[in-house]
Structure 1
């Protein structure tokens, strides 16, 4: 399974080659014993989680949010246009170069075929692993339809993108609970709220609201809305 994921990541990185906001793969090779796959990747200075941890208030100014929102959206759109669903949108997978521009990375959970997810769930379930967490890697970014047993499609990546936007805008996750079950409940039931202290524009909160809506499926096209 690990080798399969590594080969999938090599495939995705190869397809995304040349895009300014995608991590570049320079080389890959097997170890002499053939048990390990090594990848030579573009250097990053930090990830978005590192950046937030260095901010005194734990979040970014709205201008910075808009900057990273646009670059990240272009990268996700490029991934989707190449036929892949990411399934692992989160702060730690958005890396920053020395010049301040971002690049997306870590595609071992990406899939070109939504039906493949079902096969993997069944295989992992036989070994007693948690089905939901395995599917996307980070629970806080799961979309309601995935939690309720649906397939993870591009619109689910947009939900996770909305969670990430909320996180860099306010320094907290919108549906985080005190337990795993509570977090899952919040994602599927809790009304989205914004911190009262937040000084952000109505356009910014509207953008996040449209990304994190449960009804009105499919979700807003972020490229059109960010426009």
Structure 2
């Protein structure tokens, strides 16, 4: 449970809660889980609870405290341990907490009040005219990414602008007909990826709060576009740094792998599968820490059957049969349409580590189908400079058998904090030098610091984008 259990502390009688009422709190033992009815009150960012309402009314010390500061709140989940309307409260350093309500309206009220206390009401009274567009910093299939400054504060952000016209045109061209290629997607799948992926990206970014994942600050729409405003990260893509260095030292690759593991474990704990881990989607900030970006292909509600969290414990995760991801990084169960879960991200991590150490993905070829055939049927070859410990880790991550793939199951045990679970789970020889708690708190010195002259510096972003002029029509829209 989050927060210190300070039973001697009482609440100021003059302070009124933002919301109060009965909730059920999940209590976990080593072997059993049960729901406990408690009376809760939200005071600022502290969610306090008492055994009985009369204890709250009479000013008795509270029984427990859940500190919401720095937490993510997830409420769009299926039934959990027999409770239908519940919310999860997640923090990268502390144990997750689960609360349940009587019905959906009550769940929505509690979540809205918690988000209000945390300042997470994204998109309220925000417009395109609130920002100055400074530079083009990226371009994707559905729109542009700009460096922008908020006019009232001068704060710099990245704004992803998705064209509604592009979505409509794509749908009109794709619906009702088969698409070619290895995946054979039909119109329904096309519709999903052009509309649902936009909704999914916003849903995920709204709840995520992690040091190694980009944060969403504002989301709004104009007549013609959908806009996501996130961190502006100007240390460059990991892809560009691999290209420049050709290969990384094992210490440098291990550092990035550790931060990515922490980000993926956090997402999996929230029932989110990333599904598009590749160097182009990993940014470095000005200090050299990673930031995962682009959640358009991610999927939520990927909980473990029977337990509804992303931990192993002998259960299998929910499966998705969508054809998603990027060539070379896509797990074989996706490519072969066998159904996939959180294990797919660990395969992609294996490919990424191999690329950081060797310069290219294994069996790299102009023909992705040929590359996959070789990857599934032939042993991966390693240059002489790759250590035995690194090879053992990569063989475990690049295991076609989902049950044996590293990362797919937690070791048995009970942990006070999630970072303890991660430290034990990833205690493989190559990763042993990593102190995951210190890494999560950014107490480990980065192995490489990008050359950045200031928060507005664009030198690490491809001139292919930054040299593009912003048209006046783009500056004035809204």
Fold match by TM threshold 0.5? yes
Give CA deviations for 1:170-213 in whole Å, capped at 9, x if unaligned.
Answer: 101113234132022123212111023x2x33212211111112
**1:36 equivalenced with 2:225 (yes/no):** yes
Aligned residues: 205
Query: What does 1:1-227 correspond to in 2, within 5 Å?
Result: 1=191, 2-17=194-209, 19-31=210-222, 33=223, 35-45=224-234, 46-55=236-245, 58-113=246-301, 117-118=320-321, 121=322, 132=323, 135-136=324-325, 138-196=326-384, 198=385, 200-215=386-401, 217-221=403-407, 223-225=426-428, 226-227=431-432
Runs of 4+ displaced beyond 6 Å: none
1:83 & 1:92 partners in 2: Cα distance?
Answer: 23
2:370 & 2:195 partners in 1: Cα distance?
Answer: 34
Q: Partner of 1:129 in structure 2? A: none
Cα contact 1:3–1:37 (8 A) shared by 2: no
Which of these two proteins has the greater Rg computed from alpha carbons?
Answer: 2
Q: Which of the pair is proportionally richer in helix? A: 1
Cα contact 1:68–1:102 (8 A) shared by 2: yes
Runs of at least 5 residues in structure 2 that lack an aligned partner in the other structure: 1-190, 303-317, 408-424, 433-478
1:15 & 1:223 partners in 2: Cα distance?
Answer: 26
What secondary structure is seen at the aligned counterpart in 2 of 1:139? coil
What secondary structure is seen at the aligned counterpart in 1 of 2:337? coil
Q: TM-score, normalised by structure 1?
A: 0.83
Are residues 106 and 216 of structure 1, via their aligned partners in 2, closer, same or farther at CA, if it must alter by over 3 Å?
closer
What secondary structure is seen at the aligned counterpart in 2 of 1:39? strand
Runs of at least 5 residues in structure 1 that lack an aligned partner in the other structure: 122-131
Are residues 14 and 218 of structure 1, via their aligned partners in 2, closer, same or farther at CA, if it must alter by over 3 Å?
farther
Q: TM-score, normalised by structure 2?
A: 0.41
1:72 & 1:81 partners in 2: Cα distance?
Answer: 14
What secondary structure is seen at the aligned counterpart in 2 of 1:167? helix
Cα offset, 1:87, TM superposition: 1.0
What secondary structure is seen at the aligned counterpart in 2 of 1:140? coil
Q: Which of the pair is proportionally richer in strand? A: 2
1:174 & 1:149 partners in 2: Cα distance?
Answer: 21
1:180 & 1:62 partners in 2: Cα distance?
Answer: 27
Give CA deviations for 1:93-148 in whole Å, capped at 9, x if unaligned.
Answer: 11110010011111111112467844xx5xxxxxxxxxx4xx21x11012222222
2:388 & 2:338 partners in 1: Cα distance?
Answer: 32
1:216 & 1:117 partners in 2: Cα distance?
Answer: 14
1:215 & 1:6 partners in 2: Cα distance?
Answer: 32
Cα contact 2:358–2:383 (8 A) shared by 1: yes
- Point out which structure has higher relative CO (alpha carbons under 8 A, 6+ apart): 1
